[in-house]
Structure 1
Amino acid sequence: MRPPTGQQLTIATTVDGVRLRATVTELAAGLRELVLGDVDLVEPFREDARPAKGQGIVLAPWGGRVRDGRWTLDGETQQLAITEPALGNASHGLLRYSPYRVLEHDDASVLLQATIHPQPGFPFLLDTFVRYVVDESGLTVTHEAVNAGPTRAPWACGAHPYLAVGATPADALTLTVPAASAIVADERLLPVRTVAVDAADAPAGADLRAGRRLSELDLDTALVGVEHVDGIATSTLLDDAGRGVRLWQDEAFAFAVVFTPRDFPSVDGVRQAVAVEPMSAPPDALNSGEGLVWLEPGETWTGRWGVAPVDLV
């Protein structure tokens, strides 16, 4: 029987003599697993399963939600399909359920491609590419978009990895994210205003700069002002001995979303998990314009992020 996420593309290398393996799926160019030895660095899902709660998928050509699926282009209202009916939003872009083509695949890297064709609510032609590479530093993911159409086109991008330190439970993990501001959202998870993470009206637990115990957090929050040092912003999920995983994102990804569901269906049963999602734009960027990139015909956008082990070997 074929896996519901299509081809399973494995790449591997060694880190200080320990095997690092990633499996990427044809569907949504998703990251199904990233394992160092026998330690999961992201929450995996089984080959015969579908990704839960956006697990590992690529988000393009927008990352979060579009209010009512509507936005305006040159004075004309555009109507996207409502893909989050419970909240009335167009959510997580147009490629979540799309297969990618495999352009290259060798022992340590894989390059996938998908085209976004003109359609209701998004009348543009974009070629998108995702390259996964493993080496001694960990996993690097490179996203690229090329405007293949005749008019300028809007673009935003994100990814949805759930970080893990093997089976270490939430009450033994500390999450750190270097973001100075957070978006206060309404009941539909759409932006209301941006505030400092330590403001009185900030979402509870949004200040992750000094680290917070994962089990204390109930977040589905977009963070703004992610601090980049020498072009890189670094978030970490560590156990009490300082071992764990770090997620880095380059300056093309100026935002992040932190999602800490307590009902995450892991391969070992329901438990709390944490997604740290690099984003190039915040929710509802097609309406606000914040973080949105407009690509001219033939123009290319590139962004990178990655996952690396911390003191696990």
Structure 2
Amino acid sequence: MTSSEPTPTGRSIVLKTRSARAEIGTVAAVLRGLAVDGVAVTEPVPADATPSMGAGIVLAPWPNRVRDGIWILDGLPQQLDITEVTRSNAIHGLLRNTDYEIRQQSAGTVTLGTLIPPQHGWPFLLDTWVRYELHADGLSVTHGVVNHSERSAPYAVGAHPYFRIGATPIEDLVLTVAAETYFETDARMNPVAEHPVEGTRYDLRAGVPLAQLDLDTPFGGVTPAAAARLTAPDGATVELAGDAGWEYLQVFTPREFPRPDGKGVAVALEPMTAPPDALNSGRGLRHLAPGQRWEGGWRIRYTPAPASTP
């Protein structure tokens, strides 16, 4: 089902199965909501406002930040538009305010696509798409790109979903992240070093209650098939997993995430194919030859609490 009425998040697309429901907006291909068996597993994004703190948006052709918006191509500096003005960075790619077209749709799937044209600091022409496919226990998201430039183009992608498990307070959830390293960042949230998580407060491999965490932290060495998990006190879980190559994850736990009933704690788990400032470091970048195509993705899976035994 698609609504043609324009909103700040674009046209609204509703996907349904017997047990699951997802809502997508065409602006930034935003994931506006996902519920399984009536349980909300992502934070809902209102249709009538720009997504708060990047909630649910697609991040391409790079996720996270580019320091000062400057990177080097063939020895020449490229100046991207500064989109994080307070920190003087270019953040989350070039599609945050782009309205995608609907290229394919069925009851349980939709493919949205758009061009990334040449622009300030980005002399390439890419066609990109994202396919949402609803399942009985969650959602799979596949990102794709083809390079229509006459030269090789760098590319990375990510997404910015915020998670929850129904009405369970976020602070009561336990977060597990299968990451071997974390990135130390400066005051502008740009990476300055990468460290092992072993023996640090960033070691989330055994699970840590969100009440004890205050993070806006990139992680590396992520095991894609078991990237992250949230566990409720009753044993219900939401799991995030990716394809090979999705080896980076940003964990963000803002304390002032806006909701209809007031501001509170939220948790974003942002799957990424490259770390922050990848256009400069080269880490995780794919270099697409003219005409080259790539696809890859990530998944959300909800498992309800185990049935109690009498």
User: Segments of 4+ in structure 1 off by > 3 A?
Assistant: none
- 2:10 paired residue among 1, 6, 9: 6
1:61: how far off?
A: 0.4
1:198: how far off?
A: 2.5
Alignment of 1:168-179 (within 5 A): 168-179=168-179
The yes-or-no answer on 1:277 pairing with 2:270 is yes
Which AA in structure 2 matches 1:222?
P
Kindly tell me the number of residue pairs found equivalent between the two proteins: 302
1:38: how far off?
A: 2.8
Asked if the contact 2:36/2:136 (under 8 Å) is kept, the reply is: no
> Which secondary structure does the structure 1 equivalent of 2:255 belong to?
coil
1:49: how far off?
A: 2.3
Instruction: Note the residue ranges of structure 2 that are not aligned, 5 or more in a row.
Output: none
Q: Quick one: distance in 1 between partners of 2:202 and 2:92?
A: 22
Q: Which residue of 2 aligns with 1:302?
A: 295
Q: Which residue of 2 aligns with 1:221?
A: 217
Q: Which residue of 1 aligns with 2:46?
A: 46
**Structure 1 stretch displaced more, 273-282 or 297-306:** 297-306
Q: Which residue of 2 aligns with 1:154?
A: 154
> Which secondary structure does the structure 2 equivalent of 1:86 belong to?
helix
Q: Which residue of 1 aligns with 2:167?
A: 167
Q: Quick one: distance in 2 between partners of 1:210 and 1:92?
A: 30
Q: Which residue of 2 aligns with 1:242?
A: 235
Note the alpha carbon deviations across 1:33-72, whole angstroms, 9 max, x for none.
0012331100002222221000000000000100100011
Note the alpha carbon deviations across 1:110-150, whole angstroms, 9 max, x for none.
00001000111010010001000012242000000110111
Asked if the contact 2:218/2:251 (under 8 Å) is kept, the reply is: yes
Q: Quick one: distance in 2 between partners of 1:142 and 1:2?
A: 25
Asked if the contact 1:44/1:267 (under 8 Å) is kept, the reply is: no
> Which secondary structure does the structure 2 equivalent of 1:167 belong to?
coil
Asked if the contact 2:197/2:203 (under 8 Å) is kept, the reply is: yes
Q: Quick one: distance in 2 between partners of 1:261 and 1:177?
A: 17
Q: Quick one: distance in 1 between partners of 2:262 and 2:39?
A: 17
Q: Which residue of 2 aligns with 1:129?
A: 129
Alignment of 1:1-313 (within 5 A): 2-14=6-18, 19-199=19-199, 205-228=201-224, 232-311=225-304
1:199: how far off?
A: 4.6
Which AA in structure 1 matches 2:140?
T
**Structure 1 stretch displaced more, 302-311 or 73-82:** 302-311
Asked if the contact 1:28/1:98 (under 8 Å) is kept, the reply is: yes
Q: Quick one: distance in 2 between partners of 1:252 and 1:198?
A: 22
Q: Report % sequence identity.
A: 47
**Structure 1 stretch displaced more, 263-272 or 210-219:** 263-272
Which AA in structure 2 matches 1:264?
F
Which AA in structure 1 matches 2:50?
R
Asked if the contact 1:252/1:302 (under 8 Å) is kept, the reply is: no
Which AA in structure 2 matches 1:58?
V
Which AA in structure 2 matches 1:173?
L
Q: Quick one: distance in 2 between partners of 1:73 and 1:237?
A: 40
Asked if the contact 2:17/2:108 (under 8 Å) is kept, the reply is: yes
1:312: how far off?
A: 5.1
Q: Quick one: distance in 2 between partners of 1:127 and 1:72?
A: 22
Which AA in structure 2 matches 1:106?
S
Aligned in 2, Cα 1:36/1:268: closer, same or farther, shift over 3 Å? farther
Aligned in 2, Cα 1:142/1:312: closer, same or farther, shift over 3 Å? farther
Asked if the contact 2:164/2:170 (under 8 Å) is kept, the reply is: no
Q: Quick one: distance in 1 between partners of 2:197 and 2:261?
A: 33
